[in-house]
């Protein structure tokens, strides 16, 4: 059987730039196909066998996948299991506009070049949230085409910055759900500023187990991870505020100023004062 090629011209409304489909059950094996557009799909319930670019992989509930043009795939029902998924398709030009908006720092080639499409497994709460956002897009009347197009673009910015950013995708796909959730929580200022005590409480794991998981999945210790977040936050404050260096160090969670100076210079190859001088821009109202 040949590969069916689907086209944006035949599927996607050019005025809304989107095609939405909610499959509550896979009654049969789908035809192997590719397309000239992009799509996101989310497994909202159950699991399915995904045949993708000549490989086979089981996708459990919560799997969120970014499909590129020319990825060749199909779905197979797993015996005794069913699958529910939401699919959102959108044309090349929409993605090009999105990547241009996000800028060079987003590095879209890390999503486009790999042999396999980017995917990650969301926690149950995240799966429910993404599902609700997708369903909300579908509630906009088809007659309100400009609104549907605008909401699609808002949604894509949200999804790609939140789930397919460089920070998120550099983490190995095998990361446990609890650790993935913990990393997101630790990116919050109120958590990383308080450091390992909060991390330990949120994780509900022993210090030894937590340290092993960090080494395995991130190649760093919990302390190194927290300090990286604190230093990045401090660097942003140095470049964007007039607060004193001592205040910024404390605000980021460092109680020892000399330790902050040592770590900051090690990470940025500059002491805080010189970093500020080189990076702070002053705007006169």
- Residue range 250-268, pLDDT digits in tens: 999 999 999 999 999 998 8
* Number of Cα atoms under 13 Å in the Cβ half of residue 22: 12
Give dist(CA 43, CA 45) in Å, integer: 6
Other C-beta atoms lying within 10 Å of the C-beta of residue 166: 11
- Pairing between β-strand 63-67 and β-strand 55-59 as defined by DSSP bridges: unpaired
Cα angle value 165/171/176 (rounded, 5°):
120
Q: Look at residues 256, 268, 196 and name the one whose alpha carbon lies nearest to residue 225.
A: 196
Band (123; pLDDT cuts 50, 70, 90): confident
Whether 143 has a pLDDT exceeding 50, the answer reads yes
Correct CATH for 177-279 of 3.40.50.2000, 1.10.1040.50, 1.20.120.450, 1.10.10.60: 1.10.10.60
3-state SS, residue 270: coil
Domain boundaries defined on the chain: 4-169, 177-279
Is 139's pLDDT higher than 60?
A: yes
Which pTM value belongs to this model?
A: 0.63
Distance (Å, whole) CA 268 – CA 279: 12
User: Which pLDDT score, from 0 to 100, does residue 27 have?
Assistant: 67
- Run of H or E including 235: helix 222-240
What is the C-alpha separation between 7 and 14, in angstroms, rounded? Answer: 12
Report pLDDT for 166: 61
pLDDT for 90: 96
Asked if domains 4-169 and 177-279 share a fold, the reply is no
Decide which of 218 and 86 is more confident. Answer: 86
DSSP letter string, 126-185: HHHHHHHHHHHHHTS-TT-HHHHHHHHHHHHHHHHHHHSSHHHHTS-TT--HHHHHHHHH
Name the CATH code of domain 4-169 (choices 3.40.50.20, 3.40.50.1820, 2.60.120.280, 3.40.47.10): 2.60.120.280
Residues 150-189: tens digit of each pLDDT:
999 999 999 998 888 765 544 444 578 788 889 888 888 8
Condensed to tens digits (0 to 9), the pLDDT of residues 1-57 reads 588 899 999 899 999 999 998 888 876 557 899 999 999 999 999 999 999 999 999
Q: How high is the pLDDT of residue 183?
A: 87
Contacts of residue 266, Cβ cutoff 8 Å, sequence gap at least 6? none
pLDDT confidence of residue 168: 53
Q: Read off the DSSP letter of residue 13.
A: B
> Would you state the structure tokens that stand for residue 10, as one six-digit string?
């035949």
Contacts for 60 with CB less than 8 Å, ≥ 6 apart: 43, 47, 121
């Amino acid at each position: 059987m040949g590969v069916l090629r689907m086209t944006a011209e035949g599927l996607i409304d050019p005025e809304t730039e989107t095609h939405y489909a909610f499959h509550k059950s896979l009654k049969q094996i789908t035809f192997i196909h590719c397309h000239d557009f992009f799509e996101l799909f989310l497994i909202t319930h159950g699991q399915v066998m995904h045949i993708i670019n000549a490989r086979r992989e089981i996708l459990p509930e919560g799997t969120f996948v970014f499909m590129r043009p020319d990825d060749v795939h199909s779905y197979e029902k797993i015996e005794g299991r069913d699958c529910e998924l939401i699919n959102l398709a959108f044309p090349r030009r929409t993605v090009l506009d999105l990547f241009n908006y996000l800028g060079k720092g987003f590095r879209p080639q890390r999503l486009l070049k790999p042999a396999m499409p980017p995917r990650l497994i969301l926690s149950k709460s995240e799966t429910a949230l993404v599902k609700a956002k997708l369903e909300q897009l579908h509630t906009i009347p088809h007659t309100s085409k400009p609104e549907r197009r605008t909401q699609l673009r808002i949604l894509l910015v949200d999804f790609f910055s939140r789930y397919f950013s460089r920070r998120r995708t550099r983490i190995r796909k095998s990361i446990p759900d609890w650790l993935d959730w913990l990393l997101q929580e630790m990116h919050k200022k109120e958590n990383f500023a308080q450091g390992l005590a909060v991390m330990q409480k949120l994780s509900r794991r022993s210090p030894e187990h937590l340290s092993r998981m960090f080494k395995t999945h991130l190649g760093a210790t919990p302390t190194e991870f927290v300090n990286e977040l604190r230093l990045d936050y401090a660097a942003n404050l140095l470049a964007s505020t007039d607060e004193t260096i001592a205040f910024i160090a404390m605000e980021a969670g460092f109680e020892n100023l000399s330790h902050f100076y040592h770590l900051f210079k090690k990470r940025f190859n500059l002491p805080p004062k010189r970093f500020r001088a080189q990076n702070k821009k002053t705007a006169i109202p």
